Amino acid sequence: MSTVAAPAGPAPAGPKRRLPAGGDGVPLRLYGASRRTVNLVTIACGLFAVFTLVPIWWIFVSSTKTVNNFNSTFGFWFSRPFVLWSNLKEVFSNRESGSFLQWLANTAIYASIGGVGGTVLSAMAGYGFARFNFRGRNVLFLFIMGSLLIPIVAFAVPLYLVYAKFHMNSTMPGIFIPFMISPVSVYLMRVYAGGSVPRELIDAARIDGAGEARIFLRIATPLMVPALVTVFMLNVVSAWNNYFLPFIVNNSAKLYTLTQGLQVWFWHTNIPGSTENFTVITIAAGMISILPLLTMFIVLQRYWRGGLLLGSLTG
């Protein structure tokens, strides 16, 4: 009796690519990006990192030099003598032109109050726009966003006249109040509140008898923590580095911010016949002024990473 041969099976395939051990690796093709694209993006990110870090390196190197070496040596490398500690001592010395410690304390106060106040106001406004339906909501929101199109210089004269009317020039509230107003923060909080605070959760809380203030503080606020920290950091950095607004509303040397104070030192250096050269000291002071912001970013970076995805899950 003849036997029927079994049908031939498929030809053996070539060697298959395996994922790395653990199953955590995902082929790049699943992301829709080729290896060449990834390499180009990596190179672009590296160039951007260099572009960002080179000025910081220059500030640090220049802070270690004397005035003569600063003007005569290569700007991106050290020279002898190494006088960093001497320059830092000069930065914290009291001078007729102003005290760095006083400017630093003033700036910390303005940035802290402006950052906290701006975050609270932006959170309430963003949550209100996202979760309340009221007449004129979209028009009001567009009006707030439209203020971004107006250059800040256009606010100078009106702001000064309003402050003069209410006697707020050269006062602490007059300096930090503008830092509490941030249309960008309102936008970010609206987007994040719309994507992270479910309507069903709010409706359930209302059915249980919770008031709107309690819902906002006990339910919505914990869900918006990444956005709150992100907005706080943005507001603090904006207030810390701002020069124009304090320059407009403040004429008191006791209330100077860091930006105003360092500008005064720079002016003294360029006064004809001046016996003091603040060039290197100003650079060293600028290096010190970066450290609080750098520390804040390091401490809050995990929230910052979460806040970068503001509204990414919004439909």
Query: For residue 2, what pLDDT is reported?
Result: 45
SS3 for 77? Answer: coil
- Whether 110 and 144 map to the same domain: the answer is yes
**Assigned domain for 119 exists:** yes
CA separation for the pair 220, 115 (Å, rounded): 20
- Whether 80 and 107 map to the same domain: the answer is no
SS3 for 205? Answer: helix
Return the structure tokens found at 100.
């760095």
Query: For residue 25, what pLDDT is reported?
Result: 52
Q: In one letter, which amino acid is 55? A: P
**Assigned domain for 51 exists:** yes
Query: For residue 120, what pLDDT is reported?
Result: 95
Concatenated DSSP letters of 98-163: B-HHHHHHHHHHHHHHHHHHHHHHHHHHHHHHHH---TTHHHHHHHHHHGGGS-GGGGHHHHHHHH
- Return phi, psi of residue 130, to 5°: -80, -35
Q: Which domain holds residue 111?
A: 94-307
Q: List 98's β-bridge partners, or say none.
A: 95
- Whether 109 and 38 map to the same domain: the answer is no
CA separation for the pair 81, 70 (Å, rounded): 11
CA separation for the pair 164, 265 (Å, rounded): 28
Query: For residue 27, what pLDDT is reported?
Result: 58
**Assigned domain for 147 exists:** yes
- Whether 78 and 151 map to the same domain: the answer is no
Domain count, the chain: 2
Return the structure tokens found at 4.
């029927």
Concatenated DSSP letters of 210-244: --HHHIIIIIIHHHTHHHHHHHHHHHHHHHHH--H
**Assigned domain for 150 exists:** yes
- Whether 143 and 171 map to the same domain: the answer is yes
Q: Which residues of the chain have pLDDT under 50?
A: 1-9, 11-24, 30, 311-315
**Assigned domain for 194 exists:** yes
CATH number of the domain residue 280 falls in: 1.10.3720.10
CA separation for the pair 127, 148 (Å, rounded): 20
- Whether 298 and 222 map to the same domain: the answer is yes
- Whether 128 and 275 map to the same domain: the answer is yes
- Whether 119 and 64 map to the same domain: the answer is no
- Whether 72 and 144 map to the same domain: the answer is no
Q: How many CB atoms lie within 10 A of CB 283?
A: 21
Query: For residue 314, what pLDDT is reported?
Result: 45
